[in-house]
Copies of this chain bind each other. A is one copy, B any other.
Amino acid sequence: MKNKAITSRDEDFAKWYTYVVRAARLADYSNVKGCIVFEPNGYAIWEKMQSILDKKFKQLGHQNVYMPVLIPESLLKKEGELIEGFAPEGAWVTQGGNKTLEERMMIRPTSETLFSDYYASKVSSYRDLPLLYNQWANVMRWEKETRPFLRTREFLWQEGHTIHETAAEAEAETLQMLNVYKDFFENVLAIPVITGKKTEKEKFAGAEYTCTVEALMYNGVSLQSATSHYFGQKFSKAYGIQFLNRENKLENVYQTSWGCTTRMIGGLIMVHSDDNGLVLPPRIAPRQVAIVPIGTDETVMTLADEYNKKLLDADITSFVDKTERSPGFKFAEHEVNGIPVRIEIGMRDLAENMITLARRDTREKIRISKDCDIVAEVQKLMDEIQNNLFNCAKKRAEEKTYTAFNMAEVEKIMNTQPGFVKAMWCGDEACELKMKEIRGTKSRCILENEAPIADKCVCCGKEAKHLVVWGIQY
């Protein structure tokens, strides 16, 4: 097993990315253009993401439902901005059961329309509110250029859709879910993020406003990683979701939606992985510990099994690699697969009453007594790895976060050492379009809680309204 990527991430990031996806067997290309096969190692990461987020959503009172995968065109058209936004990316079913359909149907690109249509039939009084629903589903957007996990025609996601009695409640929900994502990225995925509102140009079609979670990849490119939308009454007016309020008057509900996708797996790769393959923070790694016996002595095997049992009992996902391959081959494989901790047990170490722990992030080896409290040692090491990965990513993001006061500065940064650029903006879309000419630089989000760094717009020099983070995007 050879680990080293043909190209290092510093030389050709795109090529290196593909190497990691394939070498760690996360996904494969399929014969369905623009769609990938989620292989066991990749799908297991998604399952772990789902289980952690799903638990959190439910703790906050959300319930899971499932809506149809097809949306009739007429239903889509009720809210004008949404259909306008998604029509160019639609996959349309026009034939069913050997007949041409009277009305074509789009494979859901997102499900605001179906949820709104459903809610309209369910709500009559303020007593019925809020309704806090979520669904885990596949969605489809007919992208032209695709890349595994980051942009594929079909992807997997969750979409929360909630309706509320008041605007204040719905806005609080929008913010709450944004913070759920932020917390998940920072504390589980070990990815530091910036959060804020999107500009009018970049917001979700049909939303009053969109909040976003933005992360910086190893190569300085930005990744929109999760979004939380406040719809106000836009959909509830278009779809007639009305209720009798406390004054006994008919009112339209206030609505939100929020989602995150399998794109997060791409983010994990691009933030933490290295030239030896995948690196996973322990809290999201489907398999946290690989125990590799060196040789087949009974003492070795017994100790391996004993450790394994103790770790599994402590809810640490561990396994003993008893396959018939050399220890070196196994080390390399578990490394490329990003298993955070490896325990090596061999007679030479045991003669000195020792075993070896190897950490994937730094590739450091640590010899400790075989009589240690293995659960405590592994837990401590996993915490260190988790913290180290977050701190490295944070340090890098900080180093790649710049300020700019004119277009020449923006241009210089984006062309040489791209990253997050903080710069003032007047609020005009024309200036966003100008910025886009620089390697596709887009506003990531508005920083509402940070003090302005200048008076003038970085682009036109007119009076600035907002401090904005800009970046080249995936």
Q: Footprint of B on A, CB under 8 Å?
A: 28, 30-32, 35-40, 43-44, 46-47, 63-72, 75, 87-98, 104-105, 107, 114, 117-118, 121, 133, 137-138, 140, 142, 144, 153-154, 156
Contact = CB atoms under 8 A, between A and B. Distances in A.
Contact of A65 (B40, B88, B89): B40
For the complex of A and B, 9 pairs with smallest distance between CB atoms: A97-B142, A35-B68, A38-B66, A40-B63, A92-B95, A32-B68, A96-B142, A94-B94, A91-B96
Contacts of A28: 118, 121
Given A32-B72, A47-B64, A92 B93 contact: yes
B93 A89 contact: no
* Best-buried of A28, A32, A142 by chain B (most CB within 10 Å): A32
A67 B32 CA distance: 10
| Identical subunits present | 2
Nearest to A122: B28
A69 B37 contact: no
A242 B310 CA distance: 41
A38 B118 CA distance: 11
A156 B66 contact: yes
A118 B30 contact: yes
Nearest to A62: B40
Contact of A138 (B38, B69, B118, B142): B69
A407 to B, nearest CB: 34
Given A32-B105, A88-B98, A140 B69 contact: yes
29 contacts: A30-B68, A30-B118, A31-B117, A32-B68, A32-B70, A32-B105, A35-B68, A35-B69, A36-B68, A37-B65, A37-B66, A37-B68, A38-B65, A39-B65, A40-B65, A43-B63, A43-B66, A46-B66, A47-B64, A69-B154, A70-B140, A88-B98, A90-B98, A91-B93, A91-B95, A92-B95, A93-B93, A93-B107, A96-B153
A158 to B, nearest CB: 13
A35 to B, nearest CB: 4
Contacts of A154: 68-70
A15 to B, nearest CB: 21
A38 to B, nearest CB: 4
A326 to B, nearest CB: 15
B68 A133 contact: no
A160 to B, nearest CB: 13
* Best-buried of A66, A70, A104 by chain B (most CB within 10 Å): A66
Nearest to A89: B97
A424 B154 CA distance: 49
A30 B114 contact: yes
